[in-house]
Structure 1
Amino acid sequence: MPKIILSRKGFDSSAGGKPSFLWNDKLYSIPVPQAYSEVAYKKLQIDENISYWKIMEDVGITQYSDAHLDPDLRKEVLQRENDPWLPIFGQADSALTHLLNEGVGEGDLFLFFGWFKEIEQLENGNFSHIKGKPDLHVIYGFLEVGEYFDVYEGKEHDNPAVQQHIHHQRKDRYTVPGKNGLFIGSGEPTFFKRKAGLFKFDKKLILTESGESRSNWLLPRCFFKDDGRCKLSHHKEKVGELANDDSYRIKSVARGQEFVAEMDDDIREWVETLKDLVI
């Protein structure tokens, strides 16, 4: 049985300190900062006319210059010229250990979520957060694993697209096998029309319960057992509160990035409802 992983990524209160962008019903996750990554925020593109840096500067995020572009889900986000590309997500240390202990690998589906807030473009061309709009945890993208590669010093992948990923390029930072790995979106897709990509914004992607702080979730009923216990790792001791026929209330854990569950028939049926949201 494949697994589904709700994976927390992008700016948060400890890395970046500001929400990512919800604009024109599209979700733009700001990759976390990483000094000297050689991926400047100025090179990351919302579209051909607007860079991530432009919006970041307008909303007051000016203390960072380079990004850790991971997961890398959309080829067009970075000017790559003719370089080869594959969608890839790199993970390391305790978060990777958790994924491997849960048996995550080929055939499993990552759904990436993060902290978002709606922005608007003003008449002068600058961007601003919209006053009164909520801070939300929202699912914004996905990656279906075609291959898992354990990266460590001295080990090379034979695909140039994999070699250029930062977890492979900087593999000297990780010298213990099993502490640095790549989940690669290769092969034919199973769940959606492509192996990785983004979703257009829709209320069914919002995890945060309306009117609550962003970590207070209203999760689909499929993520809970009949007795109300949550199926997601790091949450299995939590019992949700039934909110309606379709959802349970639950407080998401403050620590941890990767929340894993077996993709049973009920969860797979819910995943099917996301197909039309793939951009």
Structure 2
Amino acid sequence: MKLILSRKGFDSSAGGCPNPIFPDGSMLALPIPDSKSRIAYRDLTHQFNDGSSVSYADLVGQLTKGKIKPSSGAHLDPDMLTSAYVRDPQWRPVLGQTGAAQGHLAKQSVGAGDLFLYFGLFRDVELYKAGRKKPIWRFVPGSKPKHLLWGWMEVGERLTIDEEDFSDSCFSDRHWLKYHLHMHGQPDPNNTLYVSSENLSFAPALNGAGVFRGVSEALVLTHPQSLKPSFWQLPEWFYPHQAHPSHKYDQREPLSYHHKLDRWFAPSNGYCQLQSAARGQEFVLDLDQYPEAKPWLVELIQLNS
């Protein structure tokens, strides 16, 4: 089984700002702009924990100070929230990937039974001048951006689009995928869709995919004393070198893109530190070498969903 730490949502380059952490503690990974997408920000709705909602168009327009328009195309991928968009009854969470990022996933043999753990750059937001007829969302002055885990998805099936016939006569039970933006691009042998499983294979009582209900200490990747979001504090079992006599491996294969020893800092007080890679979307870990991962994942999902 592979664990993929998958960077998704707005950041300083894609979107131009962090994703929002709302006053109720919930968070939203905003889909990055995509001029070729048939889905616009005005077509998407975010539902808060209390049942109220806000248009993605208002959020991105206000948080980017008008740089992104309501009519701008939204790269709704990964597509994880049922309430965000009009749904076919057969819809399931799905991730599309292509290009170099998919090349890396293919090289790591990522497929059915592997689990994506999504993370992104987040910052606290608030309603500014709430007494106005239409208050605006803004980042809380003085708040700092940080990397957070925001959702998970176990792969139920992997579909290579160029090898599939998605004509109406052959679409069968996958007709609901026709809305997805990876179905509307140019031919690409790397174009791949990962469709979620119904339940976790290693914990069948838990959903195969979902988003975390709100920020908790366990979801924060950024070290609490770091001024840089990319300097992480992780559970000590992530450390690729022998930290305990019980470990089977003297040297375990590290998280992909993180092979340099000087990125890692030895465990202390139950944690290790990592200077995470600034580039790359998909960081893959072989859990056959990290048996501590599955109980950690079960607890993480149970306590935060």
Per the TM superposition, whether the score is higher than 0.5 is yes
Q: In the alignment, what sits opposite 2:208?
A: 195
Deviation (angstroms), 1:162? 2.1
Q: CA deviation at 1:237?
A: 2.2
Aligned to 1:214: 229
The corresponding residue for 1:121 is: 127
**Counterpart for residue 78 of structure 2:** 71
| Number of equivalenced pairs | 273
Matches within 5 A, 1:24-39: 24-39=24-39
Deviant stretches of 4+, over 3 Å: 226-230
The 1:221–1:42 alpha-carbon spacing in structure 2 relative to 1, beyond 3 Å, is: same
Q: 1:204 and 1:126 mapped to 2: Cα distance? A: 30
RMSD of aligned C-alpha atoms? 2.0
Moved more, 220-229 or 242-251: 220-229
Contact 1:86–1:162 under 8 Å retained in 2: no
Q: 1:118 and 1:26 mapped to 2: Cα distance?
A: 10
Q: Give the 5 Å matches for 1:42-61.
A: 42-47=42-47, 49-61=53-65
State the match for 1:275 in structure 2.
301
Q: Write out aligned runs for 1:83-122 (5 A).
A: 84-122=90-128
SS of equivalent residue, structure 2 residue 101: helix
Structure-2 change in CA distance of 1:41 and 1:227 (3 Å): same
TM-score of the pair, normalised by structure 2: 0.83
Q: Work out whether residues 20 and 30 of structure 1, in 8 Å CA contact, stay in contact via their aligned partners in 2.
A: yes
1:83, CA displacement in angstroms? 5.6
Alignment partners' CA distance in 2, 1:221 and 1:243:
5
C-alpha separation in 2, matches of 1:161 and 1:42: 21
The residue type equivalent to 1:50 in the other structure is: V
User: Match of 2:159?
Assistant: 149
Alignment partners' CA distance in 1, 2:127 and 2:276: 32
Shift, 1:44, TM fit:
1.6
Closer, same or farther: CA 98–33 of 1 in aligned 2, 3 Å: same
Gaps of 5+ in 1: none
| Aligned counterparts of 1:223 and 1:259: Cα–Cα separation in 2 | 12
Larger radius of gyration: 2
- Larger mean CA deviation between 17-26 and 219-228 belongs to 219-228
Q: 1 CA distance for matches of 2:29 and 2:113?
A: 24
**CA deviation vs aligned residue, 1:246-272 (integer Å, no higher than 9, x gap):** 211111111111000012311112112
Q: Provide Cα deviations, 1:102-122, integer angstroms capped at 9, x if missing partner.
A: 111000110010010011123
What residue identity is the alignment partner of 2:282? E
Query: Matched residues in 2 for 1:272 and 1:188: separation?
Result: 12
The separation in 2 between residues aligned to 1:49 and 1:36, in whole angstroms, is 26
Residues 226/60 of structure 1: CA separation in 2 closer, same or farther (3 Å cut): closer
d(CA) in 1 for partners of 2:118 and 2:218? 14
| Structure 1 residue 174, shift from structure 2 partner | 2.9
In structure 1, C-alpha distance between the alignment counterparts of 2:64 and 2:179, rounded to whole Å: 31
Per the alignment, residue 3 of structure 1 pairs with: 2
Q: Tell me, in whole angstroms, the C-alpha distance in 1 between the residues paired with 2:221 and 2:178.
A: 34
**CA contact under 8 A between 1:197 and 1:278: conserved in structure 2?**
no
Q: Contact 1:73 / 1:142 at 8 angstroms: preserved in 2?
A: no
Alignment partners' CA distance in 1, 2:67 and 2:177: 30
Pick aligned residue for 2:182 from 167, 171, 185: 167
3-state SS of the aligned residue for 1:146?
Answer: strand
SS at match of 1:254: coil
Deviation at 1:140, TM superposition (A): 0.3
Residue 273 of structure 1 and its aligned partner are, at CA, apart by 1.9
1:224 to 239, 261, 265: 239
In the TM superposition, what whole-angstrom CA distance separates every residue of 1:55-99 from its partner, at most 9, and x where no partner exists?
22222342332200000111111134x564111000001110110
Report if aligned partners of 1:117, 1:129 keep a CA contact under 8 Å in 2.
yes
Q: Are the aligned partners of 1:153 and 1:174 in contact in 2 as well (CA < 8 Å)?
A: no
Question: TM-score with structure 1 length normalisation?
Answer: 0.90
